[in-house]
Structure formats: structure tokens, C-alpha cells
Amino acid sequence: MHTSVALIIATYNWPQALEQTLRSVANQTILPNEVLIADDGSDERTANLIQKFKEAHPTLNIVHVWHEDNGFRLAAIRNRSISMAQSAYIIQIDGDIILDQHFIEDHLSIRTAGSFVTGSRLLLGKKITEVLLESEKINFATLRWKGKNFFNTLRIPLLMHLLQNNYKTKGKHLYDVKGCNMAFWKSDLYLVNGYDESFSGWGREDTDICIRLLHAGVKKKFIKFGGVQYHLYHPLASRDQLDANDALIEQLKLNQISFCKQGLIKAEL
């Protein structure tokens, strides 16, 4: 049965990287029904790039979702994009990711009711990233040798299906997720009220939604040997709020709360 799918791409003031991300989206074996660019307050350079790409690729159905630059508000712009999505299934990536052409196909092949999916990525180095940002065509056969985590570049559909319910889905890896490679049913995101916008600064908003989905009875899957993506190099974001966010995560693990107050539907004051 066909499932409508939205691809949400988070971005902030890096149009050169976003252009490569969008090029890889346009090259997918299965195109998303809609592409929502969750823009955390970028300037006009990103808006110009998006408009240019929309004109060149009208079949992609790109929607630019923007809010004012007021610090790191990834959770908020993702929530706004989720609420605007018309599709039943949502795949989430970042705007510094280059997708293997089977990325969306792989995610859709393992989707099941009552589950969400997370995956991994290949971390590219600084030099190859500089080359890629100037490239019009990418050679994936050589790209897999240009970064860490080589095994994250292997696409083996049989193993992908065999491992989806057994790899990093229990024990110490239960809460391991990558926000740049996740997929959800939109109805499940509303079940937990989406991302918790009370998290400030970089880090752990993806772990938080994973835990709350699990508390709500939504099972975790891991897409291994499929859903391949390549992460462009950039300096690390500020971690000054990480300790505080880690403390919130530890408290969340101790209770069974699944619905956040500051999410898709804001709590009344």
C-alpha cells in the first residue's frame, strides 16, 4: 500500500551544504511527496537557494518553513514543519547530509505501524567536504572511502530487513538515535506532542523524543545496511547546554512521561 511521505530537512545558514542535500534528494529512486525545509532562521542566501532549486525541480514540492533567528531552536522549527506536513509518514534529515539514492526507498521498505526508525551516517572529513561543496556530481563509489564509519556506507537489503528489529533496539543502545536519520508516523509524533521545545541549545532533543515514543509504546527500529547517508564536515556546535539537557534526559528515563508540554500543541499558561 502506498504511503505518502514527507522529507523534513533541518538547516541553518549553510546554503552550500543544503544545495548538495537537495541534489541528493532529487536523485532518489523514490521521491518524497513533499520536502519541508525546517529553517532555524537563516538569512536570504538560504531563501534564494531554495527558490532557485524549486524552479529547477518543480516536481519535488519544496516548502520553505522559516522562523526568526532567536538562538538554537531546532525543536521548534521541526515541530512547525511536522505540523505543516500533509503526509502520513515523515523522514527527517539535516541540511548537511548527502543521501544515497536509495535512502527514501530503504526507509519506506521497513516502515510498520507502531514503530519509529533511526539510522547512522558516514562522517566525512574536512578536505573531502570542501571538494564536495564545489562539485556538481558526486561519485558515491569513491565517497565511502573518504570518511569514518565505512560499514555505515554498505547497502545490503537482506541484512537491513533481518536486523531492523534486533540491532541497537535494546539494552545500552536502546536510546541511541541520530536526529539526522529518523523516520516516524505523523500520528505517533502527535501522540507524544512532537519535540520538546523546552530543550535549549544543542543536544538531546532527539534522545528525548525517542524515550517518550518508547514510553508511549512505539517501538524502535534501526536501519542498518540501508538508509545510507554522508555527513559533511563542520566544526562542532556549542555544547554549553549539554550537561543541563543530559540531566533532563536522566530524569525522563526514570518516569513514564510520554507527552511533553511544550511541543506540537503548546501547553496553556
pLDDT tens column, 31-52? 999 999 999 999 999 999 999 9
User: Is the per-residue pLDDT at 191 higher than 90?
Assistant: yes
263 in a domain, yes or no? no
98 in a domain, yes or no? yes
Across 156-174, average pLDDT = 95
82 in a domain, yes or no? yes
pLDDT in the model for residue 140: 77
pLDDT in the model for residue 268: 44
39 in a domain, yes or no? yes
222 in a domain, yes or no? yes
Specify whether the CB–CB gap between 122 and 225 falls below 8 A: no
pLDDT in the model for residue 242: 65
Specify whether the CB–CB gap between 82 and 8 falls below 8 A: yes
pLDDT in the model for residue 254: 78
Q: What is the pLDDT of residues 205-247, one digit of tens each?
A: 899 999 999 999 999 999 999 999 999 988 766 566 667 777 7
The dihedrals phi and psi of 182, each to the nearest 5 degrees, come to -140, 160
- Give the CATH number for residue 221: 3.90.550.10
- Number of compact structural domains in the chain: 1
Specify whether the CB–CB gap between 65 and 37 falls below 8 A: yes
pLDDT in the model for residue 261: 87
The dihedrals phi and psi of 30, each to the nearest 5 degrees, come to -125, 120
60: nearest Cα among 43, 85, 35, 42 = 35
Enter the pTM of the model.
0.92
| Structural domain that includes position 72 | 5-254
Q: What percent of the chain has pLDDT over 90?
A: 71
260 in a domain, yes or no? no
267 in a domain, yes or no? no
User: Is the per-residue pLDDT at 202 higher than 70?
Assistant: no
265 in a domain, yes or no? no
How many other CB atoms are found less than 10 A from the CB of residue 56?
A: 11
SS3 245: helix
How many other CB atoms are found less than 10 A from the CB of residue 109?
A: 16
